[in-house]
Structure 1
Amino acid sequence: MYTLRLFTRNVYPLNSMFMNISGKRLRDLLDARGIAYRDFATAMGVEPQHVNNWFNRGIPKARIFKVADHLQVDARWLADGEKDSPPNQQPCTSASGQSTPVEAGSKVHLEPLSPWDDGTPLDDDEVEIPLYKEVELAAGSGRTAVREIEDRKLRFSYATMRSAGVSPSQAVCATVSGNSMEPLIMNGATIGLDRSITHVIDGEIYALEHDGMLRVKFLYRLPGGGIRLRSFNREEHQDEDYNLQQQQDQQIRILGRVFWWSTVRPLKSGPLI
């Protein structure tokens, strides 16, 4: 079964990779220069299996400049150039003040998505995050609870987690339903949660378990330990206020702050607004 990175086991990743052409160019360069794959892996600080993954799936975006610098070729050419030989490098000053080689007159390129399956090993810059869903309890009677789905994982890059300020050990993902947060978060979206943040920061988005239901709302504090749940779609969903006793009675539990979300849109889906 093929799956696609960083969404669910049935979608494509947001952790973008350069085109597979970068993997072919890398292999051709190493072969042409007589560089052993194992020696190249050592120079890059990775395992040989990672280099083999790059051959098949493309060089990870986070590695492309390091690889290009090591091989003394243009990074843009290595990633998606169309010429048979590397063009002359021209330095371009990045935001950090460092010079990075880019091709003169280069245009913005959309990066294709990279399929993977259950047997595809993690790259050295990736981490798997467990996926949670609202599931029916064995006792039946329509009762539900939020539970981890066994063998369901999503892949994120460490760079993505760092930029979001989230520890991978505290991250989980979940799928949501309903239109209360549309069009900000669509029905069927997958969200990423930081479980280390369960205290209410006014105006932040959180996932909650509410008497077995998975809900996603803006949260606000109220006097006496109460909370207000607010939907993005306020025309159809009014604010909900719960005091401390009501939270206990209705088993309202904050699962974590939402730091990421993504949605697959069918070809014939309706307008967002």
Structure 2
Amino acid sequence: MDRPSNELRDAYAASLGERIRSCRGGVTREEFARKLDLHVNTIGKFERGITIPDAFALLRMAEIGKCPAEWLLTGKVKSDKIDRSVHAVESGDYIYVPHFDVAMSAGNGVFCDVERVVAMRPFEAKFIRQDLGISHNELALVSVVGNSMEPLLRSRDTTMLDLLAKGVTTEGIHAIRLDGALMLKQVQRLPGKVLRVSSANPEYAPFEIDGSEDESERDFMVLGRVRWGGVTFN
């Protein structure tokens, strides 16, 4: 007699576990557990659908992961409005990615300030998870400024960054910070911990960053890798 109710509970626990894992985003399970004052194995049981957290734990998860508490609990939201967040927010079949205004921003923590989020842009979850192969919510949209990446990217185009792809393992377009300025550049790893930074526009000369230099003596950081671009037509 209890089998249908048990099956419903198991199905709910499994879907809830997926939402908890999504809400955790790029935060490690250990760090998430520490912030919740819970054992890391408890978080693992939540995410695998073995146990279900209480209401207070769910509220704390929503606050820490900056995702809607209603969505975390039910998988749905009553309102189409998604609050601004520094992390992408998964709601139903869509993932809302924060679009940052970074044209006038520089320095550390540029992608950690919710005041710089101008909009939450919806993308199909299937596109991000399957087509792009991104399993986390550490994503950001930034607008292109200037002509250094023309004709590949033009001013006012939009790019999606994978903020966990900070290490340059393969050649590609990355967001970098150099001497307080934010740039989108082609970055290539060369032998000897050297990074070659170049532009698509031949008017901009390439340069190299020596990875063996003392980081305290230079202001350089790879912020993330470009995974998608949207073209703006004049």
TM-score normalised by structure 1 residue count: 0.47
Structure 2 SS opposite 1:237: coil
Report how many aligned residue pairs link the two structures. Answer: 149
Q: Contact between 1:174 and 1:192, CA under 8 Å: does it hold in 2? A: yes
Equivalent pair of 2:158/2:231 in contact (CA under 8 Å): yes
Show the counterpart of 1:98.
none
How far off is 1:135 after superposition?
A: 5.2
User: Is residue 158 of structure 2 the alignment partner of residue 158 of structure 1?
Assistant: no
**Alignment correspondent of 1:14:** none
Higher CA-based Rg: 1
Q: 2:102 aligns to what SS in structure 1?
A: strand
CA contact (8 A) 1:176 1:214 kept: no
Among 139, 161, 174, the residue aligned to 1:171: 139
User: Which among 163, 169, 173 is matched to residue 201 of structure 1?
Assistant: 169
RMSD: 3.1
Match of 1:261 in 2: 229
| Structure 1 residue 159, shift from structure 2 partner | 0.9
Q: Secondary structure at the match of 1:260?
A: strand
Per-residue CA deviation, residues 157-182 of structure 1 (Å, 9 max, x unaligned), is 11111110113412111112111111
Q: For 2:138 and 2:81, locate their aligned partners in 1 and report how far apart those are by CA, in whole Å.
A: 24
Counterpart of 1:184 in 2: which secondary structure? coil
Match for residue 209 of structure 2 among 242, 245, 257: 242
Identity of aligned residues (%): 26
Q: Secondary structure at the match of 1:134?
A: coil
Alpha-carbon distance in 1 for matches of 2:221, 2:189: 14
TM-score for the superposition, normalised by structure 2: 0.54
- For the Cα contact (< 8 Å) 2:100–2:141, is it kept in 1? yes
Q: 8 Å contact 2:77–2:91 — kept in the other structure? A: no
Whether 1:212 aligns to 2:186 is no
Tell me how far apart the structure 2 counterparts of residues 251 and 215 of structure 1 sit (CA, whole Å).
13
User: Which consecutive residues of structure 1, in runs of 5 or more, have no partner in the other structure?
Assistant: 1-45, 54-115, 138-143, 267-273
1:206/1:254 contact within 8 Å kept: yes
Q: Does 1:233 align with 2:201?
A: yes
Match of 1:182 in 2: 150
Q: Secondary structure at the match of 2:192?
A: helix
Q: Which residue is equivalent to 2:22?
A: none
